[in-house]
Structure 1
Amino acid sequence: MKKNWMMSLSGLSLAFLVSGTLAISGCGNSETASDGAAGSGSPAVTNVDNSHGGWWCVEHGVPEEECALCDKTLVSKYKDADDWCDEHARPESQCFLCSPARFDKFAARYEAKTGHKPPQPEE
């Protein structure tokens, strides 16, 4: 009986170890985003880092240091400058929901720095 209990405990430990390793490492699939122009057929696919560790906020389509959606300490700066969209709770200059053309200014900065078109914002 003692041997069966130890084998069960050993199997359970192994299951936790395997599931923990998978949770930490992920499934190995990388996130992708299109960098092709609209209407260009099948867009090219590039790897995208959604970790917010770089200079570009992939989620919101602006440089990290300017992203008030990620860095709430910036909200008052934009509100004080009368640059705020109350409807979408983000800087008006970054509200691509009200005016998708506003993204063009940020996209041009991304292209100038990287030589590539930026991924489309997720939000």
Structure 2
Amino acid sequence: MKMNWILATRASSLTVLVGALALAGCNKSETASEGTTEPVAATNVDLSHGGWWCVEHGVPEEECALCDKSLVAKFKEDGDWCDEHDRPESQCFICSPKRFDKFAATYEAKTGHKPPQPEE
């Protein structure tokens, strides 16, 4: 009987602790992208579209030609274009997954965490 009380007390304490941590870490800046509540590594950086990082494509928003079509002409003009995958060659992780490393390093330097893997 005493063992059951101890286990119940520990379980209650653990539940309270987990709940407190969940509430403390619950804010929009910690969601993987708009419309989802999947948590990513705790940061103070807005990861939704409109923030500084494009979670969907794995590059900074300001450099994401897949989201901002106005950037396409400049990438093509600079000879940085993958015709096969219709994106900048420097951002074509399909042709070379290692290209993501440069962008991941930028993300890590800013946040102290590894970036989420690009969805596309």
Pair in the same fold by TM > 0.5? yes
Equivalent in the alignment of 1:74: 71
Instruction: Write 1 or 2 for the structure with the bigger share of strand.
Output: 1
* Shift, 1:31, TM fit: 2.1
Q: What pairs with 1:26-105 in structure 2 (closer than 5 Å)?
A: 30-32=37-39, 51-105=48-102
Q: How many residues align?
A: 85
Identical aligned pairs, as a percentage?
79
- What is the alpha-carbon root mean square deviation over aligned residues? 2.2
Distance in 2, matches of 1:70 and 1:31, equals: 21
Equivalent in the alignment of 2:17: none
Question: Are 1:66 and 1:74, in contact at CA under 8 Å, matched by a contact in 2?
Answer: yes
Equivalent in the alignment of 2:21: none
Distance in 1, matches of 2:112 and 2:48, equals: 21
Distance in 1, matches of 2:36 and 2:73, equals: 38
* Shift, 1:66, TM fit: 0.1
Question: Are 2:46 and 2:52, in contact at CA under 8 Å, matched by a contact in 1?
Answer: no
The one-letter code of the counterpart of 2:112 is: G
Change (3 A) 1:113 1:29: closer
Equivalent in the alignment of 1:121: 118
The one-letter code of the counterpart of 2:76 is: K
Q: TM-score, normalised by structure 2?
A: 0.64
Distance in 2, matches of 1:92 and 1:104, equals: 14
Unaligned runs of 5+ in 2: 1-34
Change (3 A) 1:115 1:69: same
